[in-house]
């Protein structure tokens, strides 16, 4: 009986075998081969492929008679079906003796077809990734022995003792070393195995005609009973061989994945009367908007090229192009471009006047550091990919305006040069820290990080830290702090505008004078909660303060303090799986202190409020429609302004 051992596995590239394992297999093959050779039925078979594929792959079948030591006139001696079935298994680069032994032992014991067909192929598959290449030893001269006890290093307790005894004493076809050792733990080369197999086949040829009829009948029965299972066995091992060779040759190759998103927006709006807006100049501070905007179209395309070199890292390149602006910009004060009533993707994504030119929106490389830490570095990292996220204000599926999709005061850098680190402390806790110097694609002119006069730390920048908590599966809480450095506009000397958060508008020294770089601190709380599978609740609150310094006196003159508030509900899978309805209420910029420094954004002390209704309806997995309505109350923070209503229909195409 064959016994299990964890020793002796085949290893590429030399396909070396443990000697004991090989001759255990040989003994089993001989037990089945001897009667098969004597059978008239088996003798009628013809052999037209290499003998024992893999072990003797270089030995042509044509000289099989030479291999077994017969003359050319001798009738070819085919391998028995059981041997042919086991041969592909032996040929596998990683084959444990126990697996081969199980095939032979169960078949010889008259096991059922089901037993063989459910062999533990998972054992072989699991072994494919293990083990190191075994190096061969130099082969010394070999000597024939007549008893297994002639080997000084083989004892009855060895797992292969019975098999060796059978080969030595019954068939007399096993050789040892001149020093009376067998060296069963030494690796075996293909040439050695061929020589040993040749000697054993010689014995088979010499014993023809001595096989009992009962043995022949048993072998024929086994051949018939297990024909289908043995064929399946060989096929599955061949498949594993092919897959293993492919995996070893190409464990991972550099892969670049293309993803794309296209957005088409058509929108319009109207107000209940003339709308006051601030100009950003103290000479003529207020202008009146008369009439309503025309229906307009805006389009935007993002193309993402994600490349991985190891399977765990990512080089991200995002290209952007588009044209058009949101309808609500018709009513906004200076410094409030693309804010209220404007869907996040209702923009050109490129500098003004360069519609449908192509720009790089994101370029960064993210990689793991250890098991729980990921670092992203690059010249243009998207701040919103890492901070202030919310399940129900994601612009593709939920509240989607510029004001509602992210905190209005928390970040003055959309994309920037620097690094962000994410530490997944536990399933319920993560910590994120990042520093970015402003380098946003849709702003023309030279960028501060590459300007030697400003550099990576001299211009507009943010240092952000966030703690993410998930005490329950349906609840997420984010606590965020941002320290910003706000560089004034080089022409006007004002702080604010596109890169002025926490200021929403424009500020000067209170008398039309210029400001120097201004430090700012912003604190934010952000949560989303799904109490029911059809209901979501979300909200944000932020507080920001900007310290102002006069460029003329280089003295601090005060600060602007403001807050913002957002609260809303969402209805996942509303009317259709994958759809979502969202309602959001928002106060984007409520001035607490320092309104005298604002040349835009302060209004007359009013409090702008926004009510947003959005519904996303997926047509299929790649196309969705997203109608939205925005109701703006006290726009531009003028309490006397009439309400504004903006309508937008958005088509999303994702591939």
For 178, phi then psi, to 5°, come to -60, -25
Domains and CATH numbers, the chain: 17-138+187-249 (no CATH), 255-654 (2.40.160.10)
> 21 with 104: CB under 8 angstroms?
no
The residue with greater pLDDT, 86 or 157, is 157
Rg, C-alpha atoms of the chain: 39
The number of C-alpha atoms within 13 Å of 35 and in the hemisphere containing its C-beta is 19
Q: How does pLDDT run across 386-442, given as a tens digit for each residue?
A: 999 999 999 999 999 999 999 999 888 889 999 999 999 999 999 999 999 999 888
Q: Would you report the helix, strand and coil content of the chain in percent, each value rounded to 5? A: 25, 35, 40
Q: How does pLDDT run across 135-185, given as a tens digit for each residue?
A: 344 444 555 666 777 788 888 878 778 888 877 777 777 777 878 888 877
pLDDT of residue 61: 35
Which residues are CB-contacts of 399 (< 8 A; sequence separation ≥ 6)?
392, 393, 405, 538, 568, 582, 584, 612, 614
pLDDT of residue 44: 36
What average pLDDT does the segment 453-469 reach? 93
- Three-state SS across 440-455? CCCCCCCCHHHCCCCH
Q: Provide the CA 495 distance to its chain's centre, in angstroms.
A: 41
Q: How far apart are CA 594 and CA 605, in angstroms?
A: 11
pLDDT of residue 444: 67
Name the pLDDT band for 103 (thresholds 50, 70, 90).
very low
pLDDT of residue 148: 75
pLDDT of residue 95: 43
pLDDT of residue 198: 82
Name the pLDDT band for 311 (thresholds 50, 70, 90).
confident
Angstrom CA distances, 248 to 130, 251, 252, 253, 371, stand at: 11, 6, 9, 12, 25
The number of C-alpha atoms within 13 Å of 543 and in the hemisphere containing its C-beta is 3
Name the pLDDT band for 445 (thresholds 50, 70, 90).
low
pLDDT of residue 362: 97
Residue 510: pLDDT over 60: yes
pLDDT of residue 122: 41
> 501 with 544: CB under 8 angstroms?
yes
pLDDT of residue 146: 67
Region of poorest pLDDT, from 137-141, 381-385, 495-499, 532-536: 137-141
pLDDT of residue 279: 94
Q: How far apart are CA 239 and CA 389, in angstroms?
A: 46
Residue 235: pLDDT over 70: yes
Beta bridge partners of 572: 580
Residue 369: pLDDT over 80: yes
What average pLDDT does the segment 514-523 reach? 96
State the alpha helices, DSSP H only, in 12-96.
Answer: 19-38, 40-43, 64-67, 81-91
- Three-state SS across 471-494? EECCEEEEEEEEEEEECCCCCCCC
% of the chain beyond a pLDDT of 90? 54
pLDDT of residue 450: 81
pLDDT of residue 26: 57
Region of poorest pLDDT, from 126-140, 347-361, 441-455: 126-140
> Taking the model in full, what pTM does it have?
0.64
> 388 with 406: CB under 8 angstroms?
yes
pLDDT of residue 206: 72
b (16+ CB within 10 A) / e for 533-555: eeebbbbbbbbbbbbbbbeeeee
Nearest Cα neighbor of 571 from 401, 399, 405, 403 is: 399
Q: How far apart are CA 621 and CA 108, in angstroms?
A: 56
> 401 with 354: CB under 8 angstroms?
no
The per-residue pLDDT of the chain, averaged, comes to 80
Residue 587: pLDDT over 70: yes
Q: How far apart are CA 325 and CA 442, in angstroms?
A: 13
Q: Provide the CA 122 distance to its chain's centre, in angstroms.
A: 26
What average pLDDT does the segment 459-477 reach? 96
> 376 with 366: CB under 8 angstroms?
yes
Dig out the tokens for 302 from the structure.
């993002």
> 612 with 346: CB under 8 angstroms?
no
Q: How does pLDDT run across 4-57, given as a tens digit for each residue?
A: 334 333 333 333 445 555 555 555 555 555 444 433 333 333 333 333 333 333
What average pLDDT does the segment 347-373 reach? 93
pLDDT of residue 487: 92
- Tell me which H or E stretch contains 535: strand 535-549
Q: How far apart are CA 384 and CA 143, in angstroms?
A: 76
What average pLDDT does the segment 479-497 reach? 94
How do strand 609-618 and strand 143-144 relate by DSSP bridges? unpaired
Q: How far apart are CA 271 and CA 524, in angstroms?
A: 32
């Amino acid at each position: 009986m064959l016994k299990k051992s964890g020793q002796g596995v085949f290893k590429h590239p030399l396909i070396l075998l443990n000697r004991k394992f090989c001759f255990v297999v040989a003994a089993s093959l001989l037990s089945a081969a001897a009667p098969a050779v004597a059978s008239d039925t088996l003798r009628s078979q013809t052999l037209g492929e290499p003998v024992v594929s893999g072990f003797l792959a270089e030995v042509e079948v044509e000289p099989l008679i030479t291999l077994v030591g017969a003359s050319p006139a001798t009738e070819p001696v085919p391998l028995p079906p059981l041997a042919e079935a086991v041969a592909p298994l032996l040929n596998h680069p990683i084959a444990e003796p126990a697996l081969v032994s199980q095939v032979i032992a169960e078949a010889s014991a008259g096991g059922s077809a089901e037993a063989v067909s459910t062999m533990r192929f998972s054992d072989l598959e699991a072994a494919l990734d293990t083990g190191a290449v075994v190096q061969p030893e130099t082969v010394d001269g070999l000597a024939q022995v007549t008893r297994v006890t002639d080997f000084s290093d083989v004892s009855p307790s060895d797992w292969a003792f019975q098999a060796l005894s059978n080969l030595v004493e019954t068939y007399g076809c096993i050789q040892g070393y001149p020093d009376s050792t067998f060296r069963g733990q030494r690796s075996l080369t293909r040439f050695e195995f061929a020589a040993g197999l040749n000697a054993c086949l010689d014995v088979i040829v010499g014993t023809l005609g001595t096989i009992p009829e009962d043995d022949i009948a048993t072998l024929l029965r086994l051949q018939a009973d297990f024909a289908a299972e043995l064929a399946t066995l060989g096929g599955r091992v061949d498949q594993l061989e092919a897959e293993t060779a492919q995996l070893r040759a190409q464990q991972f190759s550099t892969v670049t994945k293309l993803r794309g998103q296209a957005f088409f927006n058509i929108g319009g709006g109207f107000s209940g009367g003339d709308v006051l807006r601030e100009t950003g100049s103290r000479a003529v501070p207020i202008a009146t908007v008369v009439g309503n905007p025309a229906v307009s179209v805006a389009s935007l395309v993002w193309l993402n090229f994600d490349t991985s070199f190891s399977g765990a890292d990512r080089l991200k390149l995002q290209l952007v192009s588009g044209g058009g602006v949101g309808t609500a910009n018709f009513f906004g004060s200076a410094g409030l471009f693309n804010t209220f009533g404007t869907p996040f993707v209702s923009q050109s994504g490129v500098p003004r006047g360069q519609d449908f030119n192509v720009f790089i929106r994101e370029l960064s490389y993210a990689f793991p550091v250890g098991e729980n830490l990921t670092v992203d570095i690059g010249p243009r990292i998207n701040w919103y990919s890492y901070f202030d996220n919310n399940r129900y204000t994601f612009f593709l599926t939920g509240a989607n305006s510029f004001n509602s999709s992210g905190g209005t005061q928390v970040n003055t850098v959309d994309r920037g040069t620097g690094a962000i680190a994410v530490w997944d402390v536990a399933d319920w806790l993560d910590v994120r820290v990042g520093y970015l110097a402003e380098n946003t694609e849709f702003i023309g002119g030279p960028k501060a990080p590459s300007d030697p006069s400003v550099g990576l730390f001299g211009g507009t920048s943010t240092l952000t830290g966030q703690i993410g908590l998930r005490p329950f599966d349906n609840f997420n809480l984010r606590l965020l702090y941002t320290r910003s450095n706000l560089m004034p506009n080089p022409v006007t000397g004002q702080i604010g505008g596109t890169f002025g958060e926490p200021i929403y508008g424009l500020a000067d020294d209170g008398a039309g004078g210029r400001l120097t770089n201004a430090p700012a601190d912003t604190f934010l709380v952000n949560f989303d909660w799904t109490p029911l599978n059809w209901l979501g609740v979300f909200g944000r609150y932020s507080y920001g303060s900007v310290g102002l310094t006069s460029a003329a006196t280089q003295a601090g003159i005060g600060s602007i303090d403001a807050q913002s508030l957002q609260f809303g509900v969402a209805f996942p899978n509303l009317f259709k799986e994958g759809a979502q309805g969202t309602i959001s209420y928002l106060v984007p910029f409520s001035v607490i202190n320092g309104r005298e420094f604002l040349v835009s954004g302060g209004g007359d002390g009013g409090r702008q409020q926004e009510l947003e209704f959005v519904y996303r309806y997926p047509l299929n997995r790649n196309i969705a429609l997203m109608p939205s309505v925005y109701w703006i109350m006290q726009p531009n923070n003028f309490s006397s302004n009439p309400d504004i209503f903006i309508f937008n229909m958005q088509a999303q195409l994702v591939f």
